[in-house]
Amino acid sequence: MDRELSLETAAAVRGLQVCESADFHHDGIADDGEGIFVRLLGLTRPVRD
């Protein structure tokens, strides 16, 4: 239920991209905050050759 509500809320925000991972759950930041930040930052940076 919580996941569905989160996805429904995200769908209502124009331009929002959902990033889901089986690696982390609601407490992912406590488990590996730095790793999650690096992954998210990588999604915002253009890929360079």
Q: What average pLDDT is seen over the chain? A: 84
Evaluate if residue 11 carries a pLDDT over 90. yes
- The mean pLDDT value for 7-36 works out to 86
Question: Which bin fits 19, alpha (ψ -120 to 50), beta or left (φ > 0)?
Answer: beta
pLDDT at 14 over 80: yes
What whole-number distance in Å separates Cα of residue 22 and Cα of residue 14?
25
pLDDT at 49: 62
User: Could you tell me what percentage of the chain is helix, strand and coil, using 3-state DSSP and rounding each to the nearest 5?
Assistant: 55, 0, 45
pLDDT above 70 (res 44) = yes
Looking at the chain, how many residues does it have? Answer: 49
Residue indicated by tokens 């889901």: 20
What's 41's DSSP letter? H
* Mean predicted confidence (pLDDT) in 27-43: 86
Residue the block writes with tokens 């790793």: 35
The pLDDT of residue 9: 95
